[in-house]
Amino acid sequence: MIPVKFLTMCTLMLLATMAGAQNHVPTTQNFFEKLDGYWQGSLTYTDYSSGKPYTMKADVEIKRIGKASKFSFSNIYPNEKNANSVDTIIISADGKYINQTPIKLQRTLANGTTELVTEEMGEDGNDNKKAVIRHTYSIGTNTYRKRKDVKFVDDTKWLNRHEYSYKKAL
């Protein structure tokens, strides 16, 4: 005979797993669907050589690609047109990865802003040192931010590399 405590614990674990699995994919996809449109703002980045922040105008146009879980980000730099680029974000079928990088945290803040945080091992800096790379995607009612932080393997503190900050264009 299987103990009741064991069955109860297994049932609770199964329900928690199912709830997470059922909500993760639509939530992740809905997060990026809310970004559809044109956004105006700025990019602030840390200059690798001087360590000082630099801010420049940056806009982005975000579109879902067909019916897939892919989104196109057309990055527009009005004062530096040669830097314009297009990125694609792909959400995994299970909703647990963005561009094959695991989502470590998904939360809604007190002000209603939703955040997704990914982390992966990579390299950063002029000398390509090994580091944990963290991307934080935040969306509010009319705001969108994407931030990159790094923590080098031999260090304990996180460094902000850049942050895009946008407002929805009307």
Give the largest CA-CA distance in the chain: 73
Better pLDDT: 136 or 30: 136
Closest CA to 91 of 17, 26, 23, 22: 26
Q: Which two tokens stand for residue 67?
A: 């019916």
Q: Which residue has the tokens 């000398």?
A: 127
Residue 52 CA to residue 112 CA, distance in Å, equals: 31
Rounded CA gap, 56 and 20, in Å?
39
pLDDT band at 46 (very low <50, low <70, confident <90, very high): confident
Q: Is the pLDDT of residue 26 over 70?
A: no
Q: Which CATH architecture has domain 4-168?
A: Beta Barrel (2.40)
Residues 6+ apart with CB under 8 A from 58: 41, 42, 43, 75, 76, 77, 164, 166
Out of 7-11, 26-30, 161-165, pick the least confident: 7-11
Please return the burial class of 134, using the count of CB atoms within 10 Å of its CB with bins 0-12, 13-18 and 19+.
Answer: buried
Please give the pLDDT value at position 39: 97
